[in-house]
Amino acid sequence: GAGVSQTPSNKVTEKGKYVELRCDPISGHTALYWYRQSLGQGPEFLIYFQGTGAADDSGLPNDRFFAVRPEGSVSTLKIQRTERGDSAVYLCASSSHGDGNYEQYFGPGTRLTVT
Amino acid sequence: AQKVTQAQTEISVVEKEDVTLDCVYETRDTTYYLFWYKQPPSGELVFLIRRNSFDEQNEISGRYSWNFQKSTSSFNFTITASQVVDSAVYFCALSEANRNTDKLIFGTGTRLQVFP
């Protein structure tokens, strides 16, 4: 079946602009995660959804970052007033359950470059 | 605090050599899960294994094997008879089960280069 998909694959934006990154999880997966990976680092957790609700948003770096999952499937990560430091690969993952005992399947990521 | 340490930044081997990637973790919880992921040059993270904290049996899958030792908080990964296709960045990760989140906490990764 289809895996996790993310669009766009690449996004270049100017400092100060607003961007939206989209994630389509594996069909039927209730848990959805966003991570951010900087060059040479491991992925860093941003936010976790169980269904439509954000069960843990402790990883969002500041209030410029926001994510939604209105129907419990597709999720959108929104970044306002982008800064050069936001440049990274944004990864989305989904899991059939949200209790740690199930692996998370990752998408190919969106490479965000803020100029 | 939860933390995963992968002290080996980069390892280079020649094909057919065995190689072990080290992973040390820190957690206050008694129930937790450990993972290994592979990130090839294409960039997509590929799940390799999950192990829960109550199961210390070593696991073997083809050329891959994992050694989980709670006494030393380690979860090491060995590739036997390495191949060029094993070249990738490998990440160890921790998830704590006793909280309202199962976010993964990743190490900084070990880049493995296998030369022909």
Condensed to tens digits (0 to 9), the pLDDT of residues B24-81 reads: 999 988 889 999 999 999 889 999 999 989 888 888 899 999 999 999 999 999 999 9
Burial B30-60 (b: 16+ CB within 10 A, else e): eebbbbbbbbeeeebbeebbbbebeeeeeee
- Across the interface, whether the CB atoms of A106 and B105 are under 8 A apart is answered no
- Across the interface, whether the CB atoms of B52 and A108 are under 8 A apart is answered no
If one counts every other C-beta atom within 10 angstroms of the C-beta of residue B80, the result is: 14
Helix (H/G/I), strand (E/B), else coil: B24: strand
DSSP A29: -
- Chain A contact for B108, CB < 8 A? yes
Element of type H or E holding B96: strand B88-96
Q: Min CA distance, A40 vs chain B (Å)?
A: 7
Q: Residue A84 class from Cβ within 10 Å (0-12 exposed, 13-18 middle, 19+ buried)?
A: exposed
According to the model, what pLDDT value does residue A1 have? Answer: 58
If one counts every other C-beta atom within 10 angstroms of the C-beta of residue A48, the result is: 27
Collect all residues from A whose CB is shorter than 8 A from any CB in B.
31, 33, 35, 40-45, 48, 55-56, 58-59, 89, 91, 93, 95, 98-109
- The stretches of chain A forming alpha helices (DSSP H) are none
According to the model, what pLDDT value does residue B1 have? Answer: 77
Whether residue A81 has pLDDT greater than 80? yes
Interval A106-112 mean pLDDT:
96
Contacts of B96 (CB under 8 A, 6+ apart): A100, B2, B27, B29, B31, B32, B33, B102
Q: Which of A26, A30, A97, A106 to mutate against chain B (most B CBs within 10 Å)? A: A106
Interval A46-53 mean pLDDT:
93
**Residues of A with CB below 8 A from B35's CB?**
103
Amino acid type, A28:
G
Distance (Å, whole) CA A109 – CA A23: 9
Average per-residue pLDDT in chain B? 93
Average per-residue pLDDT in chain A? 94
Q: Min CA distance, B3 vs chain A (Å)?
A: 12
If one counts every other C-beta atom within 10 angstroms of the C-beta of residue A9, the result is: 12
